Amino acid sequence: MKLQRVLQYAQQLLTDAIEVGDTVVDATAGNGHDTLFLAQLVGDDGQVFAFDVQKSAVDATLYRLLDNALEHRALVLHTGHEHVAKHVQKPVTAAIFNLGYLPGSDHDIITKPNTTILAITDLLQLLKIGGIIVLVIYHGHPGGKEERDAVIEYVSHLPQKYVHVLKYEFLNQQNDPPFIIALEKMKELPTDIKTRL
C-alpha cells in the first residue's frame, strides 16, 4: 500500500517532526493512544502535555501511560485545550488534535469550533519554527460539519509566510471519512496576529 491511511499519515508527520527531549501536546487525550505514542517519541528528557475535558479520558490516558511505564513523560490535564497557554510555557515541537467525540463515551461531548480555534491560535505562538500541528478531523457526527468548516475557514486564511497549511484527504471514501489538516510554522508570528486573523 503506497498511500498511507489517515491515522498512519498523522503518526508519520509526528514521527518526522519530534526528537528526543522535545515538548509536545496531545490536545484531545481521549483514551490516550496519541499521548502514549508521543510519550514514546519524546524519550525520558521530553514532555507531553495532554488535555481532555472528560475525567474518564484523563483516567484512561493515565492508565495507558502507567501500563507502559511512561507516566513520567506526560502531564495529563483535566482541562480544555483552549487553556494550553496557561499550562505550557516551553516551545512546542508538535501538537495533535483528534476532533469529534470519544468512541465508546458520551457522544454529546465533542470538540467545538471556538475552543479548537483558540487552542490552534495559542499553539501557533508556542510552536518552534518548523514545528507542526496535526488535526485529524472527524465530521460525520452532529456538530462535526460546523467545526470542520470553521477550522478550514480559519486555517485557510493563515498567512503563508508564517504557516504552511496542508490537507490530506481521500476523495472517494464513503461515510464522511476523517481527513488531516497539518500546519507547519515557518516564521515567528507577530504577537498581535490573534487580533488580525
Among 23, 31, 93, 121, binds ligand SAM (CB under 6 A): 31
> Please, which residues bridge with residue 136 across strands?
98, 180
Radius of gyration of the chain (CA): 16
130 — alpha (psi -120 to 50), left (phi > 0) or beta? left
Beta carbon nearer to ligand SAM, 172 or 175? 175
Residue 125 interacts with ligand SAM (CB under 6 A)? no
* Stretch in the footprint of ligand SAM (CB under 6 A) among 10-18, 97-105, 154-162, 174-182: 97-105
Pairing of strands 47-51, 127-137: unpaired
Q: What share of the chain is helix, strand, coil (3-state, %, to 5)?
A: 40, 25, 40
Our finding on whether 111 is near ligand SAM (CB under 6 A) is: yes
**80 touches ligand SAM (CB under 6 A):** yes
- Cβ 79 to ligand SAM shortest distance, Å: 7
Rounded to 5 degrees, what are φ and ψ at 170?
-85, 125
Kindly tell me which of 81 and 148 has the beta carbon lying closer to ligand SAM. 81
Contact between 52 and ligand SAM by CB under 6 A: the answer reads yes
DSSP 110: B
Q: Is 84 in the site for ligand SAM (CB under 6 A)?
A: no
Cell of 68: 507502559
Under rule CB under 6 A, residue 81 binds ligand SAM: yes
Instruction: Name 183's bridge partners.
Output: 133, 165
Give the cell for residue 186.
515557518
Span near ligand SAM by CB under 6 A; candidates 50-58, 67-75, 125-133, 181-189: 50-58
Pick the binder of ligand SAM from 9, 71, 115, 180 (CB under 6 A): 115
Is residue 193 within 8 A of residue 162, CB to CB? The reply is: yes
**Shortest reach from residue 81's CB to ligand SAM, in Å:** 4
Q: Determine the residue type at 34.
A: D
CB nearer to ligand SAM: give 105 or 125.
Answer: 105
Residue of 30, 131, 144, 178 that binds ligand SAM (CB under 6 A): 30
Query: Could you give phi then psi for residue 56, rounded to 5 degrees?
Result: -65, -35
Positions touching ligand SAM (CB under 6 A) are: 27-28, 30-34, 51-54, 57, 80-82, 98, 100, 102, 109, 111, 115
